[in-house]
Each structure stands twice: as structure tokens, then as C-alpha cells.
Structure 1
Amino acid sequence: MSLEDHAEELASSLGVDKTEVKQKLENLDQYGVPIDEAKQTVRRNYDESDSGSPEEVSTKSIAEITTGDSRVGVDVRILSVGKRSIQYNGEQHVIFEGEMADESGKISYTSWEDFDLETGETVHLGNIDIREWEGNPELNLGDSTSVERLSETLDVEYDVGGDATLASLEPGDRGVNLDVQVLETEQKTINGRDGETEILSGVVGDETGRLPFTDWGPREALSVGNSVRLEDVFIREFRGVPSVNVSEFTTVAVLDSTVEVADSGTRYPIGDAVDTGGMFDLELTGNVVAVRDGSGLIERCPECGRVIQSGQCRTHGEVEGEDDLRVKAILDDGTGTVTVVLDEVLTAEVYDGDLDDARDHARDAMDREVVAKEIRENIVGQEFRVRGTLTVDDYGANLEASEFTRRVEDPQDRAKRLLTEVKP
């Protein structure tokens, strides 16, 4: 059933104008709210309108607000104010978003009107719509919302202003300010909603870690080596990890001082890392217990880059494969396991030979599997320190390695360390 059909069905049952209902559903759909949940929200709004006036909306603390609420009032302190442009009903629309807090907790918000909210101020917001966002309630400010500035400042336990570190970021954060160093950049042309668009992607870092970023309007200030202050960025999820998005409303200023960047990735036990659901620039240590099939000298589709079997690509059918080197190693540290994927460069290091060497080896043996066999002999049973990006999905936990270093440790020292780790 299309959104148009849902709007017609809901409008008919409520006895209201279909155009107005459709607009409300499109508003919620823009934020990825499932259609059934969106219809319930719209129905609650109309039920509330029929049962009383906006003045009858009760004021609640943030901790008391649930996804079952329709409209509420709150006394809050503004923690951050972000600004972003989205496409709505075929037109560009500017929204405001961030976080608010009171003594009981904090909550995210989206405002479809410019109420001139400022970070740090304390306000009473009346007649706010509540919607569900990723299982949590979120404040939705619209044309029926009232704003009253309060003279008494709420004392909250959260930082005001939106300043954050990379390690503290989560997908969905908005109105965030960062001091970072630009570590990598790559200019790309993508097919966006307005046709071909030039973007800048790369990696930024601070003393707490590193994350990917995208600048939707490439700026010279975001050059490798520059330390910059980014004000008003929003965070999306990209391949299971937070990604910093620099929008048209983000201000970028080059800093006089250098932002220090962590030399190593964030260290985690494998089990804890997998539980996070994905991490960027992660560092793990463990033993390689196996090398999976599909390692060694492989063939890829020249069109999509996928690994092919017997000259067949799942997408493009029969193709002339292109040789490549890859390793898919199972790393185990006693808390869990992860598949570590090595690219051609790292595979050549553990194979002790390049792609041409692997081709010659396979040709002489008349068996491509000899390359994987030698790699197994070189790394299985050995301890490695691995650095890279972890993704966790229906296919399991996979870490795309940027570093793969064998750990050399005196056997006695290693035994003592292992005994220390397992003692209660």
C-alpha cells in the first residue's frame, strides 16, 4: 500500500482532510518512521486535538516522557542547536535539531520552525509532539509549539554547547562541535538527489580516536594535516560505524594549534568489540586459529569487484576474472572471534610474495590452493595485533585490516601474562 493509500484510509477513519493527514505522514516518513507507527502518531494527534486544547497539555520531566505520549510540555535547558537542510515534498526545508535536558535526563529534538533557540538558555516548551526515533522518544517541535524563555537557569549534569570528542559520538547525534586533525581525504563524484555532486570524504582524528567524514560541499580548509574546528556537524552510521557529516551550515575554521591524534586504535577484547555492533580504527590482539576458504589467490569480477567462482559472478554471470590476493583469517582472544580480512598488500606480507609470485606458484603446482596453504602455514597458531574497521551484520563480525603485525614475545613472558589474565 502506498503512502497515498495509507493517508486516504487514515483520513477516512478520522473524518478529516486527506491532504493534511498525508502531509503529517510524509513528515514522519522523512525520518524513517515505520508507516504503522506513523499512522498511530497521527491518530493520537487528532485524538488529542478532539479531547482538549493545547493549554491542557501536561508538563512532564524528560524521564517521564514515553513513546506512548502524544503531546507534552517541558521545562528544559538547550544543550545543542544544529541546522540542516532536508528534502521534503520535493522542496528543500531547513530544520533545527539537537539535545535538551532537565534534572532527570536528556532527550533529542527536531524543530520544523525557527524558534531562535540558543544553547544554554532555559525554556518552557508547550504542546510538543512526541515521536519514536530508534525506539526512544524524541521531541518534535512544530507550528503549534509555544516557547517561553525562563529567567531561572536549570542546573543539568550534561555539557552545554555541543562540544564532543570522536570517541563519544553515536549515529543520530546532531549539532555537534569537534576539534580534529584531517588525516586522509579523497574527492569523489556521486549521483545525488540533484544529479552529480562533488563531495570530499576521508578520515579525521583526535586524541580519543579516528572516524570517517564526508563534506557535502568540499572546502579547502579540510586538507590533510590541517587541525580544524567543526561547528554544527551531524553523525550518521556508515558501514556500522559513526560518520561525521559536514553540511552547508557547518562552520570550518583552521586552528592555530595542532590537534593531537591517538597513535593506536581503540583497544578492546574481541567479545566486547563485537558487542558494540561496529567500530572504526579498532585494535585487537589474538591468535589466528584458521584461514577461511576464499583466501589466497582469488579471482574478482571486473565489473563489481566481487569474488567469483568458476568464472561466474553472482551479479554479472560469466566473466573473465581478475587475479587478486586476500586472506580471511579467524582471530580468537578467548573472549570471542572475528574474521580479519587482509587486502592484497597485507596478504603479500604474510605470504612473503606479491601477486606475480602467487601466480607463478599456482602455475608451477597446477593448483591455485597452494597459495592459501602456504599462508595458513605462515600465520595459523601465531599471535597478531590487528588494526582496522569492524562491521557486524547478518554475515558475522568482519574487520577490514589496515595493520596486521605478528607479536613476538618470550614464551615465558607470554605464559605469565596469560596466567595473569585468567586468574580470578
Structure 2
Amino acid sequence: MELDHHAEELASALGVDKEEVKSDLQNLLQYSVPLDEAKQSVRRKHGGSSSSSDAPPSAKRIADIEPNGGNVSVTVRVLTVGTRSIVYQGESQTIHEGKLADGSGTISYTAWQDFGFEPGDSVTIGNAGVREWDGKPELNIGAASTVAVESEPVETPYDDQIGGDADLIDLQAGDRGRVVETRVLEVESRTIDGRDGETTILSGVLADETGRLPFTDWAPRPDLKEGASLRLSDVYVREFRGVPQVNLSEFTTVEVLDDAVEVSDSAPRLKIGEAVDAGGVFDIELLGNVLEVRDGSGLIERCSDCSRVLQNGQCRQHGDVDGEDDMRVKAILDDGTGTVTAILDRDLTEAVYGGTMEDAMAQAREAMDKEVVADDIADTLVGREYRVRGNLSVDEYGANLEADEFEETDDDPAERAAALLTEVGA
């Protein structure tokens, strides 16, 4: 019976299945591992703190919470509340998630049951577990946690975030319970192999005055059609192919707006360093000088199965294959604040080269060297300033921008220098 008590306490704090926790404890205890050490090991396995749960939770400010600091109590303002269905231990489970704030900062949370709090509520949450999620601490609110409503509102500098209303440009991977007013620019229906077998979803692009983002609707709704202006409440954001993606769950509500949402035809322009620091950005414009055209530019061959670029006739996934001819440019762009590799597809590369791929292949045959094409492209690009628009992804391999537009700027350098001096002087 004592083991059941410890298993239930751990499972509630960690938000995991009691029987799995009990089995883990039994496996450790049969090898004579002390109970306290066994409990710490189970906490570490499930992403919780290794501190003993027997110690009373300490009251902390959000800024002082660390993943290895044990269970905590916090008095906070609820900024957002999102609801989502996940599969856990092979079963579907509804969770509630969002963001909390106090005067010192904000923190994400996951609640494994509905505690009834709403955006704007001030609450004291007792005995909340802390885990690390995406490199940051997150509160894990389980059955052993308590939630009490405060009579006096918690003062925070984040009250403008209550309710989750956001522009598209402000959304980041990991956001939950957000609300956006947007227009559907593109939408398509497709069938994927989902967790319940073949599933039909909608995907496309959303836009507002600040920018554009891809979206996926996991419970396809008829109101999501091209040109529709909508208010989407309770969406979550995750990273897909290096950029933030808006996700609609079965709990998302869709309201058709009477007035059309204004959409900008231009992309937001950022400094390269600022864009790279922000991580992946969908539909962005950068301005910079081409420092170098990287190896792997010009005439290339791709695998006919996966479209990867071949190296010496070899695909790293499919081995020795017949390649398909293609062209691209990988240009290093610099604006003084950072660098990014702009990747141009065949159409943009042909425009830069000033001829078709067939022309380039004829030049390479005549010279008996493919590199002459890349050399000509480098002679055209290096040292000149270009405006590039496309999707930026940032990972361990660096920052890459898949270009949709690439053109030389016609700005007057003298005028820009004068404007910069005026800005600095101010």
C-alpha cells in the first residue's frame, strides 16, 4: 500500500501514468535501490526534478524557477489558456496549456486536468512540478497541485498579453492559446497518415498586415477557404521545416469576420542579425551584399527519388542513382549585422545567369568543366547588394533563406549613408 501511495504522488506531480511509475519503482526496489533514490531516478526519467517530493514546495518568483529546483508554489496572472488533445501512454488525453506571468517574468505551463482558471485570473498554484521544455523551465500542474483564486490581481508588465491576441509576426514556436485575426491566402486539402490512420487536413498560408505564416487545420472546417477573413481562437504554434506554423486543433474556434483583414503585399524587412536571432521566419525580406557564392552552386544533379543534391553521383540516402539536372545558387549575404545563405532555385538562378539551364550545360560541355557556370554567376553577384525575400530557417547547420525573390537594389548608397548619419546623430 505504501508503494501505491508513493507511485500516485509521483504520477500526479509528473503528470504521467500511475501504473508506469509503480512499475518503474518496483524494478528499482527489487535491486535494493533505496526508496528515495528510486523516486529521484523515476523523476529524472520522466523529465521532472530529481529533488525529493517530500520537501514542501517553495514559493518562488517566475524568474527564480529552475528545472532542477523541485516543486514550487507561484502566485501569478493567467495570460493564456489553450486546450489540446494529445496521445499519452497510447490513450487520448485532453490537456490545458498556456502562459503565466508575475512581476518578474513569464512561464509556460501544462495542466493535466481542468482547474477552471481563465485568462486574466490571478491564482496561487501550489505544488507544481517543474520540467525543462525547449531549454526553458515549464510548470507541470498535476493532480497533486492546488489552485486558489486570489482576490487581488497580480500586477505584471505583461497584462497586454492577457487573452492571447497576437499579430502573426509576433507568434513563436511554443505559443499556445493564441488568438489571431487573419485572412486565408492559400488553402489545400490533403490526406496524411496520422495517428488514427489516414486523416484529411487543411494546410496553406495565413496573412495579416504584419506578415504571413503557414497553417494546418487538424479538424478541417469549411470556413477556412481562400480569401476568408477569420478570427481564430485557441491556436498553438510549433516549428515546421524551420519556421513557425499556426495549428488549429479540434478545440480551436473559428469566427467569420464581416470586415476583411488587411494584408500587406510586402514582407517585413529585418536586419540579418535580428532575423537569425529570431530563429525561423516565414516570408521575410533581407538586404545585404553577396560576399561569396558557395560550393554546390551552378549546375547540379539531384536524386530522382528524394531530390537531394548528389555528391560524385551518390545520394546519401539512395546511393548510386541516375541524377536529374538542375541549377541553384547558394550565396552568402552580409549586411554588417550577420550573414545568411540565400538559396536560389532554378528559375532565379537562370535569371542571374542570364540564360537557360540548357545554355549553361552547353557552356560547361564546351569548357569541359561545370565550374565555369558557377564562376560566371559569382562574377555577376559578388560585391553587389541584393534584396532577397523568402523563408528563413536556422538550425545547427546555419541560417538559410529559400528565396522567392532576388533582385539587385537600386538604392543610392550616398542617400542611405546620409540617412544613417542622421539617424545616428539623432
Q: TM-score range by the shorter chain?
A: 0.7 to 0.9
Deviations 1:5-61 (A, max 9, x none): 976565563538x9x999x76xxxxxxxxx5673x62x53xx333x5xxxx544433
Report the 3-state secondary structure (helix = DSSP H, G, I; strand = E; otherwise coil) of the residue aligned with 1:274.
helix
Q: Shift in Å at residue 412 of structure 1?
A: 5.0
Compared with structure 1, are the counterparts of its residues 93 and 365 closer, same or farther at alpha carbon in structure 2 (3 Å cutoff)? same
| Distance change >3 Å, CA 420–CA 346, structure 1 → 2 | farther
Aligned partner of 1:29 in structure 2 is none
How many residues are paired up?
402
- Root-mean-square deviation over aligned CA pairs: 3.1
- Distance in 1, matches of 2:90 and 2:46, equals 23
Give the equivalent residue in structure 2 for 1:209: 211
Distance 2:388 2:372 in 1: 25
Matches within 5 A, 1:36-115: 38=47, 41=49, 43-44=50-51, 47-49=52-54, 51=55, 57-115=57-115
Cross-structure match for 1:269: 271
2:143 corresponds to: 143
CA distance in 2, matches of 1:64, 1:396: 32
Q: Distance in 1 between matches of 2:417 and 2:145?
A: 65
* TM superposition score normalised by structure 2: 0.84
TM-superposition CA deviations, 1:105-154 (whole Å, max 9, x none) = 33221110112222222223222222232343322111122222333333
Answer with 400-409 or 375-384: which moved more.
375-384
Q: Does 1:344 align with 2:346?
A: yes
* Residue segments in structure 2 that go unaligned for 5+ positions in a row: 1-19
- Structure 1 stretch 81-90 or stretch 372-381: which is displaced more? 372-381
% same residue: 56
**Which secondary structure does the structure 1 equivalent of 2:80 belong to?**
coil
Question: What residue is the counterpart of 1:319 in the other structure?
Answer: 321
Whether contact under 8 Å (2:57, 2:70) holds in the other structure is no
Paired residue type of 2:315? C
1:170 alignment partner, SS class:
coil
Query: How much does 1:414 deviate?
Result: 6.1
Tell me the secondary structure at the aligned position of residue 193 of structure 2: strand
Q: Deviations over 1:63-97 (max 9, x none)?
A: 44333332233332221110011111110111001
Letter in 2 for 1:173: D
- Verify the 8 A CA contact 1:11 1:21 in the aligned structure 2: no
Q: Distance in 2 between matches of 1:414 and 1:73?
A: 53
| Pairing of 1:160-171 with structure 2 (within 5 A) | 160-171=162-173
AA at the equivalent of 1:349: A
- Alpha-carbon distance change, 420 to 378 in structure 1, aligned in 2, over 3 angstroms: farther
Q: 1: distance between equivalents of 2:213 and 2:287?
A: 21
Task: Give the aligned residue type for 1:294.
Answer: G
Provide the residue aligned with 1:177 in structure 2. Answer: 179
Q: Is the CA contact 1:299–1:323 (under 8 Å) kept in the aligned structure 2? A: yes
SS, match of residue 53 in structure 2: helix
Residue 274 of structure 1 aligns with an amino acid whose one-letter code is V
> Could you tell me the TM-score, scaled by structure 1's length?
0.84
Q: 1:396 to 1:63 in 2, by over 3 A?
A: closer
Among 398, 401, 410, which residue is 1:399 paired with?
401
Q: Deviations 1:251-283 (Å, cap 9, x if unpaired)? A: 122211122223332322223323333322221
Deviation at 1:411, TM superposition (A): 6.3
Q: Shift of the alpha carbon at 1:315? A: 1.5
